[in-house]
Amino acid sequence: MSDFKQMLNERVKETEEIIKNFLPREAGFQRTIMKAMNYSMNAGGKRLRPLLMLETSRLFGFGGARKEVERFMTAMEMIHTSSLIHDDLPCMDNDEYRRGKKSTWAAFGEDMGVLAGDALIVEAFSVASGAFFETEHPYRVGKAIRILAEKTGIYGMIGGQVVDVELTGHALPADKLDFIYRLKTGALLEASMLIGAVLAGAEEEDCAKISRIAVNVGLAFQIQDDILDITGNPETIGKPVGSDERNDKTTFVSLNGLDKAKEEVKRLSEEAISQLNSLNRENPFLEQLIRMLITREK
């Protein structure tokens, strides 16, 4: 195993332990909803967003905000998980399985699926707001909560999902596809890195650079996903390939072709790494993580 893969496994394990510390206790008359929430949160996944937040805050030396960062890491994963629960619902993608396990609604019922997704969003802000009681920098915490709310709501993930749902089954022009990619996929990635920088006390100029890096990473990540739907090995990526074409889904590849998509991933990734290096700070693991995310094969 390479040094990076070993370190990645260690960081993911570290992230898992952080998240577990904030999961609700399954007790009380309403314990079914806690079980559904924890079932979803423990279903696996890359833990990409909290990991990016952690490593971005490390880039700026944490700024004494390690406890605050851990709370926001958990909040971010709760929000991301809530979106997956809602995506799987019969009224959305109608998926009965996720990562080889029954999806939340399939395991607990459609009603509990809706409520579990809602509950995780609310619980995310409850966990994040707890940072006010642990911080010496309440302004940074307030700013981070504002970022989390904006990038989750109508100007972020949910806004992108709205356009995606409304245009399902219709050909998408390039500008609306870009809008969906930047909001539905990219908003939480951007928020993760930006919150990590804000909580660590990064200067405004550096926060602006982090936002630009995260936007490029988010776009490259989604376009690489489009590419893998055509070129990926089903055994490696864990799902059938060709689903976008079968579902008549507009993607960057369908609009621009495979070669142009590969060129765009390369351009976006090189720009992101160049911007990261311009910060004159070192976190080799973060750079390798970004490279892995946008050149991954699964």
pLDDT tens, residue by residue, 235-255: 554 455 566 666 667 899 989
At 249 the pLDDT is 78
Q: How far apart are CA 50 and CA 135, in angstroms?
A: 19
Q: Are 64 and 72 in contact (CB under 8 A)?
A: no
Q: How far apart are CA 262 and CA 276, in angstroms?
A: 21
Domains assigned to the chain: 1-44+60-161 (1.10.600.10), 203-298 (no CATH)
Least confident of 33-37, 58-62, 173-177, 236-240: 236-240
Q: Are 209 and 275 in contact (CB under 8 A)?
A: yes
3-class DSSP assignment, residue 221: helix
Residues with Cβ within 8 Å of residue 134, at least 6 apart in sequence: 67, 68, 71
Q: Are 64 and 84 in contact (CB under 8 A)?
A: no
pLDDT tens, residue by residue, 152-211: 999 999 999 999 888 888 888 899 999 999 998 899 999 999 999 999 999 999 999 999
Residues with Cβ within 8 Å of residue 205, at least 6 apart in sequence: none
At 298 the pLDDT is 64
